[in-house]
């Protein structure tokens, strides 16, 4: 389980067959503190844990580790040349294309996607709002993938208070 503590550090709670323990993930690797709530996911095929969060500088960071190994941080926003986030991210993984996806909302009310092939490429940025001519967004988006058709989906509330979906393959 992951969460943002009252000290704005990103924490992980974990256990196997004994008592629950915790780690200050962001502090352990000197990553920025969190401005919002983290999103996490796990990919079983390579035993990798991933946590994405918005830092106090409004950049998106990923903390990842293999199995019980050490935590590695990277600044997704800087690497992708993406705009600063104005809300918490949503994350998804597509097994069919072996791609990671982070969806966030920027200050201009656009939805942005950062995506990459783990171990092969760094994150690339796509302005989903421009790409799909979507209405402006408010709040935190949601994201999911469907592996059969290898489609990606972002769900969000627009400034018109309607729920919108952007999908692509």
Domain of 95, CATH number, reads: 2.120.10.70
- Looking at the structure of the chain, the number of domains it has is 1
Distance from C-alpha of 162 to C-alpha of 169, rounded to nearest angstrom: 23
Instruction: Please give the chain's pLDDT, 169 residues, in tens.
Output: 899 999 999 999 888 788 888 889 998 899 999 999 999 999 999 999 999 999 999 999 999 999 989 999 999 999 999 999 999 999 999 999 999 999 999 999 999 999 999 989 899 999 999 999 999 999 999 999 998 888 999 999 999 999 999 999 8
pLDDT of residue 17: 82
> What is the extent of the structural domain holding 35?
2-168
Structural tokens at position 18? 């004994």
pLDDT of residue 35: 96
Q: Are 77 and 85 in contact (CB under 8 A)?
A: yes
Structural tokens at position 88? 């918490």
pLDDT of residue 5: 94
Provide DSSP, 47-112. TEEEEEEEBTTS-EEEEEEETTS--EEEEHHHHHTPPPBSS--EEEEETTTTEEEEEEEBTTS-EE
Q: Are 88 and 36 in contact (CB under 8 A)?
A: yes
pTM comes to 0.92
> Would you report the helix, strand and coil content of the chain in percent, each value rounded to 5?
10, 50, 40
6 SS3 class: coil
pLDDT of residue 79: 96
Distance from C-alpha of 145 to C-alpha of 164, rounded to nearest angstrom: 16
């Amino acid at each position: 389980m992951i969460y943002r503590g009252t000290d704005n550090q990103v924490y992980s709670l974990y256990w196997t067959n004994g008592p629950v323990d915790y780690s200050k993930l962001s502090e352990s690797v000197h990553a920025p503190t969190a401005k919002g709530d983290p999103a996490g996911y796990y990919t079983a095929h390579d035993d990798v844990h991933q946590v994405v969060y918005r830092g106090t500088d409004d950049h998106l960071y990923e903390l990842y580790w293999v199995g019980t190994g050490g935590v590695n941080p990277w600044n997704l926003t800087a690497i992708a040349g993406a705009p600063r986030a104005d809300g918490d991210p949503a994350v998804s993984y597509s097994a069919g294309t072996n791609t990671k996806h982070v969806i966030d909302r920027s200050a201009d009310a656009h939805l942005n996607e950062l995506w990459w092939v783990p171990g092969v490429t760094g994150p690339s940025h796509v302005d989903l709002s421009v790409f799909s001519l979507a209405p402006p967004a408010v709040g935190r988006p949601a994201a999911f993938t469907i592996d059969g058709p290898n489609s990606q989906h972002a769900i969000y509330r627009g400034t018109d208070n309607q729920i919108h979906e952007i999908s692509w393959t």
